[in-house]
Amino acid sequence: MTATQNPPTEQPKTASDSAERRYATVNPFTGETEQEFDFTPTEAVDGIVERAHAAYREWSQRPVQERAAVVARAAELLDERRDELAALITREMGKRREEAAGELFLCSMILKYYADNGPAFLEPTPIQPLMGKGEALVETRPVGALLAIEPWNYPFYQVVRVAGPNLVLGNTVILKHAEIVPQCALAIEQLFRDAGAPEGVLTNTFLRIADVEQVIADPRIAGVTLTGSERAGSAVGALAGKHLKKSVLELGGSDPFIVLDAEDLPAVVKAATSGRMQNTGQACIAAKRLIVTEDVYEPFVAGLAQAFGTFSPGDPAEPGTTLAPLSSEQAARDLHAQIQDAVDKGATVVTGGTRPDHPGAFVQPTILTDVTPDMRAYHEELFGPAAVVYRVKDADEAVALANDSVYGLGATVMSSDLDRARAVAERIEAGMVWINQPTGSSPELPFGGVKRSGYGRELSELAMFEFANRRLLRTVPAKTADKPQAG
């Protein structure tokens, strides 16, 4: 299971942007607007922040075992509600039902991981003092209420990987979810409430963009985390810095998938197809740039084209569907415009390249070759079922091309020679590199990037320390011999 982020068209904007979207469930398969939701009134925002701040004061003082028990119960409820919540994901953002259930299974794993391991992660770390007697400890303490701005493409996973570690740590969370998954947002809030989280520990909001800025500026907010586009990350990071708030940003990705050799070509093609097409290609760590050495390039492209040809559009709620719609009609138009730009400037379409004659927000699975730096597809993230394949002569050229990107989230290196693969992996500028498997996600593995893919880490033990006070406690024995005597 992989995860990640909103493309620019679905991300929060700054207050200076002209258009303001509404929160609504618009089924991307039928195009039907099923339900709309009012914005959280501006006058209610101060009260929401105050409740989250007050909840932090009480929640952080509870024994960590109690906080972990609430998170563990949320995992149990998630398992019990998996079918209904998977159907909700499918209806709001178009994910195939099987993949939606897989996302929820991963969410349950994450919550259980922090419930089981979080208390141990928070144990003080002893330091041997260099001078003087006594002891020194580094404690991990919560810092307060956090604002979490989350995307639509993994509507539960993105929230859970923030909530799990931070609720066990003792922080509280105000959620501002993407405008197209409002019912998922409400279901998450209800999940933690039913698990026993007091009011204010995890609060959903339908905030306007101007009110997001107000929340970040509020002195009762200790930090902000965002998964989304570069534009959104730049705006939120600037606001957080202006107000001296810690921020964690997980932004775009254009992950390289490097094929050095292919003793088992079908297995390599299968991995590339899975890495590119999971969640209809709407994942920041999807394999978007396929970089293949020239001795296997031709058979690889032929095999990939054959694999892409097996996908056909259908109802994402039906078990036999192989290609789901994109999250919205606008997302489909944006991706097609990027593909068309490449074609107009001379790129070769191996397969796909158009929108199918089928209702819904579909784009045909597309393979582009002969992509050059003057094309949008060379530099921009393609957030959907479109892959760019490059031919390179050797590992050095593969590394140079892989690193020729503003992004640095994940990367994959495929080779039957592990020493060769590791040598290439060492040179890749990315926050995560996987060898012989598409980039993925698991509770114990840190997730995050470098360059314009953001900063900070989610998941693993590291997530417990992003919004934490790593407080020093230094104890020196009292000097009892010099105390005056009672007279």
Out of 92, 284, 381, 466, the active site residue is: 284
Taking each continuous run of H as one helix and of E as one strand, the counts in the chain are: 15, 20
Q: Catalytic residue at 250?
A: yes
Closest C-alpha to 349, from 363, 318, 370, 326: 370
Tokens standing for residue 110? 């994450």
Q: Are 303 and 78 in contact (CB under 8 A)?
A: no
> Given phi > 0 = left and psi -120 to 50 = alpha, else beta, which region is 481?
alpha
Residue 26 half-sphere exposure toward CB, CA atoms < 13 A: 19
- Quote the DSSP letter at residue 29: T
Got the DSSP string for 209-226?
HHHHHHHHH-TTEEEEEE
Give the list of residues 6+ apart from residue 301 with CB closer than 8 angstroms, or none.
292, 350, 367, 369, 389
Structure tokens at 315: 């109802």
Tally of residues, the chain: 487
| Catalytic status, residue 184 | no
Q: Largest Cα–Cα distance of the chain, in whole Å?
A: 99
CA count, 13 A, side-chain hemisphere, 158 = 30
d(CA 142, CA 145): 9
Task: Specify the DSSP element, H or E, that contains 140.
Answer: strand 135-142
Which residue do the tokens 């001379």 mark?
Answer: 346
Tokens of 378: 């060379």
The active-site residue, picked from 250, 380, 381, 466, is 250
Enumerate residues 6+ apart whose C-beta is below 8 A from 163: 71, 148, 173, 188, 192, 202
Q: Angle 78-175-203 (CA atoms, 0-180°, nearest 5)?
A: 75
Listed in order, strand segments (DSSP E) in 244-340 are 246-250, 255-259, 287-293
Contact yes or no for 409/432 (Cβ under 8 A): yes
Q: Between the CA atoms of 343, 347, 352 and 353, what dihedral angle is there, to the nearest 10 degrees?
A: -20
Token pair, residue 215, equals 């929340």
How far apart, in Å, are the Cα atoms of 470 and each of 119, 141, 142, 245? 15, 6, 9, 16
Which residues carry out catalysis?
A: 250, 284
